[in-house]
Amino acid sequence: MNQDIKPMPGLEGRVALVTGATRGLGLAIARKLCASGCHVLVNHRGPRSAADDALAALAGLAGTAEPAPADLTRPAEVRALLARAGERHGRLDLLVHNAASWHPGSALGVAARPLRQDLTTALAPLLAAAPLLPGLMGERGGRVVAISSSGARSAVPGYVNAGLAKAALESLVRYLAAELAGRRITVNAISTAKIDKGESTGNPAMLKVLAERTPAGRLTTPADVADAVALLCADEAAWIHGQTLTVDGGLGLMP
């Protein structure tokens, strides 16, 4: 329920772009920022109906939202999207790169095409956006948060393509952080493990085991990650640069 979302103070009036924001984790992030008073650009690549459903889910919150269609694997579309944001709103304050792809595979038989697709989805949006951010974020600076996963640092069966892509994304976050820090732009990542999205599909036995192994007593939810995104977007996070924050209830601590 939208009324259950606790707003992050200090984000009122910020303009935020969330990639892959029409469902799941992306929508949870959009809801958190919108509840905090942001104007959220809801990026989507699929049909407009998906964006309409997301906008309906954001209705009634403290902030506002609008659709932001673009295929972010295409640099020209990224640049066009940011140009529209600049024209309509005069600036961009927050960029949350949540969009991801996952093509199952084995490290003993990596195929070029699925690996390239996962790498492109992870890297292309930030690579295309980075040169434009100083102009869009201005003297006030801004926040960039990328969503990674535990598969960037641990070997998850079948996850090699996405794992390599997320590892590259975390490296890119560090490089961008070093080059944008002088512009008052922070760039950080959030890494999470298996997320409980309330789906009826999947492997219930595996989810039960993971929940029991998590020291905090349950699986991570989209709202948990959205809360961490908002923390990194806050003014008080201005001195955090190039870090990957693990948000998994302590699961990664366990052997």
159 is catalytic: yes
* CATH superfamily to which 2-248 belongs: NAD(P)-binding Rossmann-like Domain (3.40.50.720)
Domain range annotation of the chain: 2-248
pLDDT at residue 200, as a whole number: 55
**Identified catalytic residue from 159, 194, 197, 208:** 159
Catalytic residue among 32, 166, 197, 208: 166
Cβ–Cβ under 8 Å, residues 29 and 135: no
pLDDT of residue 197: 81
- What is the reported pLDDT for 50? 86
pLDDT of res. 244? 99
User: Pseudo-torsion of CA 45, 26, 126, 12, nearest 10°?
Assistant: 120
Q: Is 166 a known active-site residue?
A: yes
Per-residue pLDDT of the chain (255 residues; tens, 9 = 90+): 566 899 999 999 999 999 999 999 999 999 999 999 999 999 999 788 889 999 999 999 999 999 999 999 999 999 999 999 999 999 999 999 999 999 999 999 999 999 999 999 999 999 999 999 999 999 999 999 999 999 999 999 999 999 999 999 999 999 999 999 999 999 999 999 989 887 655 688 888 999 999 999 999 999 999 999 999 999 999 999 999 999 999 999 998
pTM: 0.95
Q: What is the DSSP string of 134-185?
A: HHHHTTT-EEEEEEEEGGGTS--TTBHHHHHHHHHHHHHHHHHHHHHGGGTE
89: which 2 tokens? 């709103």
- Cα 178 from Cα 6, distance rounded (Å): 32
Q: Please state, in angstroms and rounded to a whole number, the distance separating the CA atoms of residues 45 and 80.
A: 14
Q: What is the pLDDT of residue 3?
A: 60
Structure tokens at 106: 């084995």
